[in-house]
Each structure stands twice: as C-alpha cells, then as structure tokens.
Structure 1
Amino acid sequence: MGIAVEALFTSALGLQPPWVVDDVRLDTAKRRIDFEIGCHTSRLACPACGAATQPVHDRLRRSWRHLDFFQFEAWL
C-alpha cells in the first residue's frame, strides 16, 4: 500500500495541519517541481500576538523558492 504523493511531500516539507500540499507538478525539462500549498481552515493563530482563532483575511497567491529537491528547483 502506497502513500499519496501529496501526503508524502506534506511530511517532507514539515507542514503541520491545517497546512497541506494540495498538488505537485513536476517539469523535468525545466528541472522544476511546484507545490501547491493549502490551508483548509478559516481561522488561525495571530503570528504577532499568538491570539487563537483569528479570522483568515489574506488569501493572495504567492510563490517562494524552497531548497532544491534532488536536482529540481522547488517552488511553493
């Protein structure tokens, strides 16, 4: 029995709930792997003060370069 690719990379990236890898796209010609990261909740702790269950108000799409996975550039 195998593990889903998304679950494998969620673990490899060290993500904790509610953060998960929703999709993985590999482009061998460009030597690039793209991870679609999702947050499946409407409330999170405030990163500044730590107050619990604050409403999520920013869902802008962004991209970050991560450390390479083997020979592939990794983008989140």
Structure 2
Amino acid sequence: MISNLEKFFTGCLHLSSPWEVTNVKMDEGQTRVDIRVRNNGKFEFFCPECGGRCQGYDKKEREWQHSDLFDMECHIHCAVDRMKCRECGKVTMIDVPWAEKGSGFTLLFEAKGIELMREMPVKAAGSFLKTEPHRLWRVLDRFVERRMKHQNLAGLT
C-alpha cells in the first residue's frame, strides 16, 4: 500500500503512471534520503533502433543523484527494465522520465549543475553539489553537444 508520503514524493518528482514512489528512507544520521521508484509494468516496450515490439526480460538496479532535500543528499533508486527486441535482437534499457540515458544524475540535478557551472569553476560547482568535478564535466559535455547539434555553422570562418 502506498502511503501519503510516497504519493507526495511521486508528485514532487512529477511522476505519472506507470511510475510511482514506493519507499522513502532517511539514514540514521539524517544526512541522506533514498527514494525508491518502480514502474507497474503496464506499458509496452518499443525498440529505439528499429521500433519493433520488445519484451522485458529482467531488471537492472540503478541509482541517480538528485538535488539535495533540506540539505540532505538525495538519491533515487529503481530497478529498470531491460528489454530485447523481437525484430533486431538489440538489448536495451527503458528510458526513465527523471534522467537521461547513461547519466547518474537526475535531470533536475543536471540543470542545477549547468546553472552553477555558468557562474563558477566546475571544481567549485562539484564541491557545492557534493560530487566529483569529472562527473560534472560529462554533464557539461552532453549539454554543449545537445546545443551545438542545432547550430548551423556553415557560414562560420
């Protein structure tokens, strides 16, 4: 049974079906909050390569660093479905709505990191966000790559 606390966090994370928060746990030292999310499995999988129907065959546990919650480090945990395409045979993980594929951070955390890196050195942003600077450099690289993809530099000399 999902309590009001889990419903509250489901809303705070802007999750909708099939995603929901099932558990929120604070460590004894009250320095970290861990949020467990699951999907109820009521959706179809489609291959990102060929668009064919896929079948989920197992789950892989993942963790993402989220923005701090009342100065406590916050992490989201989820067993994410892996699927195998019936058409092309490709194995892939489904996308989660709170993070980019392959990232160890939530979208909100990455957005906050980008804003901080605009105003201060990456090392200082990493210290503020309680993460290693090399991880933030990867966030910045992906951000620049996404922005440059839409730039027409044909006339640039």
TM-score normalised over the length of structure 2: 0.40
In structure 1, list runs of 5 or more residues that go unmatched.
none
CA contact (8 A) 1:43 1:54 kept: no
Q: Residues 42, 58 of structure 1: CA spacing in aligned structure 2 closer, same or farther, 3 A cutoff?
A: farther
The two structures, once aligned, show a CA RMSD in angstroms of 2.5
- 1:25-44 correspondence runs (5 A): 25-41=25-41, 43-44=43-44
Deviations 1:1-55 (A, max 9, x none): xx71000000001111100001010125151000111001153453737x5x743
Bigger relative contact order (CA 8 A; separation at least 6): 1
What is aligned with 1:22? 22
CA contact (8 A) 1:42 1:55 kept: no
What is aligned with 2:87? none
Q: Distance in 1 between matches of 2:13 and 2:56?
A: 22
TM-score normalised over the length of structure 1: 0.75
Q: In the TM superposition, what is the alpha-carbon distance from 1:58 to its structure 2 partner?
A: 4.4
Count, aligned residues: 73
Greater shift, 56-65 or 66-75, is seen at: 56-65
Q: Distance in 2 between matches of 1:44 and 1:33?
A: 31
Q: In the TM superposition, what is the alpha-carbon distance from 1:59 to its structure 2 partner?
A: 1.1
**Secondary structure of the structure 1 residue equivalent to 2:29:** coil
In structure 2, list runs of 5 or more residues that go unmatched.
77-157
Q: Distance in 2 between matches of 1:47 and 1:37?
A: 23
**Greater helix percent: which structure?**
2
Q: Distance in 2 between matches of 1:66 and 1:46?
A: 27
Q: Residues 37, 47 of structure 1: CA spacing in aligned structure 2 closer, same or farther, 3 A cutoff?
A: farther
**Secondary structure of the structure 2 residue equivalent to 1:41:** coil
**Greater strand percent: which structure?**
1
Identity %: 26
Greater CA radius of gyration, 1 or 2?
2
CA contact (8 A) 1:43 1:56 kept: no
What is aligned with 2:73? 73
CA contact (8 A) 1:20 1:39 kept: yes
